[in-house]
Amino acid sequence: MSRKILQQLTFGVIVGNRGFFPSYLVTEARRDAARVFEKLGIKTVILDESQSKLGGVETWQDAKACAELFHRHRDEINGVVILLPNFGDEKAVADAVRLSGLTVPVLVQAEQDSLDKMGLATRRDSFCGKISLCNNLRQCGIPFTLTSRHVCTVAGEDFAGDLRRFTQLCRLVHAMKGVRIGAIGARPAAFNTVRYSEKLLERMGVSVETLDLSEIFTRVGRLSDNDLRVDEKLALLKDNADTGAIPAQKLHTMAKLFVVISEWVLANDIDTTAIQCWTSLQENLGINVCSIMSIMSGQLMPSACEVDVMGALSMYALASCSLSPASIADWNNNFGDEQDKCVLFHCGNFPAESLENPVMGTADIIGTTVGCENTCGAVHGRMKAGPLTYFRLSSDDFTGKVRAYVGEGTVVDDPLDTVGCRAVVQIPAMEPLLRYICEQGFEHHVAMNHSATAEVLHEAFTKYLGVECYWHAKA
């Protein structure tokens, strides 16, 4: 897994308070929130009751104390959760976030009132307080995320669901900061479609490190078949897919290539790779790199074909959000006359976890030009039925911006007789989507995985990462 994709997250928690509302509500909120965070495996940084009244934030001094606490833990905190058990002091809460200097996502929750508790001793007015707080956050230039319902109970399932989505969002935003992409080899000459702007990526804080294939071939040539590192990679290749039809020498060459790529990735802190997968590898080593890419993607170190750097970054975003391996594929074929279905296809690099009965074979399409015997290593398999999120980042030199599109659909199990890695997908209003992709000049590649994370990806990129993102479901 990439070093930047977090499994354990830590949230800074602010409990708002306002003196003329019942203060016991703050104590209840802290108690209920602690249970929810513990159940979801989320660590927290929060004022204790010795640092402010009941551990809430109500005054300027409370705001400073909270900000100082968050600042001390700035390297740990991945997001901030604001709880409003009563109206809260909107200015103090906004000041706490602003003074902390944190640039992480912020979730705003407000507790709902009960109709039988609207007296002075029990009413909350959090419904109104949330609107006031959001106004103050916007004045401070602090982006924030809202719960799915305007008010909800901290102890309820609605808020637990909001926290799960917020966890995905925070993981994605954290993972995207300082990404290092490995571009291995030159893009295939005919593939102008995968051109990209390193300068626009650098502006996003994304670095591209390059490696020439000639260096790869030299390092592969130095490795012995008996090297223990080769044996380790060979075992991974055999575990990833059925290799019964592949000659032993081809597997050993793949294992050597795997060792060389892995050690370069490790030495350079690479998070995701884009590889020149044809035709130099076939002509020089007599193999395909697909199975290696399949394994790396399965390890949440996504790898894209044809030096599609923006495709690799798209895969990485999907994987880091959902912790589910991502694939890259062509928008490849219509599915008969069904306009809401199509075929997504690539020669053979999908992560094995996403496939039914993966088998290692040859890449027959490329084999027509380089010889099928030189294309051992392609994975063949049908993508399992289930939920689908598709996503694509692209650098647009004409506007000087990175942009994206995202949406959801379903991988279906309709019959399809073909080779390689393939999926039949059903997407609502597919014709308008394809029209948008064509008119906007997006690439023919798209990243996808088994998840339902379009909403999270859209919010993360538009609100926190500054990338214009078209959400197909909301068009």
Residues 38, 82, 89: CA angle, nearest 5 degrees:
140
Residue 282 has pLDDT above 60, yes or no: yes
CA distance readout (Å), 60 to 99, 110, 152: 11, 21, 27
Between CA 350 and CA 297 the distance in angstroms is 8
The pLDDT, as a whole number, for residue 455 is 98
Q: Output the average pLDDT for the chain.
A: 96
Band of the pLDDT at 150, cuts 50, 70, 90? very high
- Measured N-to-C along each axis, helices 248-267 and 213-222 cross at an angle, to the nearest 10 degrees, of 120
Between CA 58 and CA 47 the distance in angstroms is 12
Q: How many residues does the chain have?
A: 475
pLDDT-above-70 percentage for the chain: 99
Please compute the mean of the pLDDT values over residues 461-466 and round it to a whole number. Answer: 98
Residue 475 has pLDDT above 70, yes or no: no
The answer to whether residues 471 and 406 touch, using CB atoms and an 8 Å cutoff, is yes
Q: Per residue in 213-269, pLDDT tens?
A: 999 999 999 999 889 999 999 999 999 999 999 999 999 999 999 999 999 999 999
Q: Per residue in 441-459, pLDDT tens?
A: 999 999 999 999 999 999 9
CA distance readout (Å), 16 to 91, 95, 137, 402, 444: 10, 12, 14, 37, 48
The pLDDT, as a whole number, for residue 403 is 98
101 CB-side CA count, 13 A: 7
Q: Indicate the range of 52-56, 98-102, 117-121, 467-471 predicted with least confidence.
A: 117-121
Please compute the mean of the pLDDT values over residues 371-381 and round it to a whole number. Answer: 97
- Contacts of residue 58, defined as CB under 8 A and 6 or more positions apart, other chains included, come to 16, 17, 18, 19, 52, 88, 89, 92
Band of the pLDDT at 22, cuts 50, 70, 90? confident
pLDDT-above-90 percentage for the chain: 93
- Measured N-to-C along each axis, helices 157-176 and 309-322 cross at an angle, to the nearest 10 degrees, of 150
Query: Residue 155's closest CA among 38, 21, 14, 17?
Result: 38
Please compute the mean of the pLDDT values over residues 204-221 and round it to a whole number. Answer: 98
Please compute the mean of the pLDDT values over residues 347-366 and round it to a whole number. Answer: 96
Q: Which residues, listed in sequence order, are joined to residue 38 by a DSSP beta bridge? A: none
The pLDDT, as a whole number, for residue 474 is 67
Q: In what order do the strands lie in the sheet with 79-84?
A: 43-46, 10-15, 79-84, 106-110, 145-146
Residues 30, 34, 40: CA angle, nearest 5 degrees:
145
The pLDDT, as a whole number, for residue 115 is 76
The answer to whether residues 451 and 377 touch, using CB atoms and an 8 Å cutoff, is no
The pLDDT, as a whole number, for residue 189 is 86
The pLDDT, as a whole number, for residue 21 is 81
Determine if the pTM surpasses 0.85.
yes
Long-range pairs for 280-283: beta carbons < 8 A, 24 or more residues apart:
280/185, 280/213, 281/213, 281/257, 282/366, 282/370, 282/371, 282/374, 282/375, 283/370, 283/374
- Written as one letter, the residue type at 137 is L
Please compute the mean of the pLDDT values over residues 67-86 and round it to a whole number. Answer: 98
Is the bond into 122 cis (omega within 30 degrees of 0)? no
Cα of 443 vs its chain's centroid, Å? 19
